[in-house]
Amino acid sequence: MHLASEEPVRGRRRHGAELDGALLDAAWDELMERGYSGLTFDSVARRAGTSRPVVNRRWATKGALVQDAMIRASDRAVLVDPRTGSLRDDTIDLLEQLNVWFAGFAAIMTAQLAAYFDELGTSPAELREMLVGTRRSVIEAVTQRAVDQGEIDGAKLTPRIARLPYDLLRHEAIMNLRPMSSEAIREVVDTIFLPLLR
């Protein structure tokens, strides 16, 4: 691990997607260690073993670099459609898949990104929308399948209710800075989410 005070490590030259990936991983590591305010193009370049002009050629601003680094990190959290045969078990499975990832991002959003939101004039809600990506389609597929199979009343499935278990998971992660317990996940599904749809 290369801290900002260290000299860059010189190795074989990287190009294209490999170099971009190394820079984004370095930016993510810097964000985790130093927060948005402490991250600089110089520190990212040093950590990636390259020079500042290489970073400058790819990103005009620190905000743009951090956005791309967060998207890259977010893209590693791939949701798998559980297809258990019931909305309850599908929803619990999806929440379990998202649980640790939400907790990790919650720590960053609360402790590391205040200056990011201020500088870019954006909000945690806008960041969430940017990072949801393809995971939304898996969540929507699970609930639509339950409607198609007559398991729940589609007329009651408003966008807010469909998001409810995931919003509660995210809220708990932000408040406690740790994953939600399996018991709490089942309580959310059994006592809050499903009763609203039946």
Tell me the torsion sign for CA atoms 186, 190, 192, 196: positive
pLDDT tens track for 92-146 = 999 999 998 887 777 676 667 878 888 889 887 788 778 776 678 899 999 999 9
- Please give the class, per CATH, of domain 16-72: mainly alpha
Q: Where in the chain is the domain with CATH 1.10.357.10?
A: 78-197
* Radius of gyration over every alpha carbon of the chain, rounded to an integer in angstroms: 20
CA distance linking residue 10 with residue 133, whole number of Å:
35
Mind giving me the DSSP string for 42-71?
Answer: HHHHHHHTS-HHHHHHH-SSHHHHHHHHHH
For position 5, what pLDDT does the model report? Answer: 37
Q: How far is CA 150 from CA 37, 51, 70, 92, in A?
A: 51, 58, 38, 19
Q: Where in the chain is the domain with CATH 1.10.10.60?
A: 16-72
pLDDT tens track for 9-56 = 444 566 789 999 999 999 999 998 888 999 999 999 999 999 999 999
- Please give the class, per CATH, of domain 78-197: mainly alpha
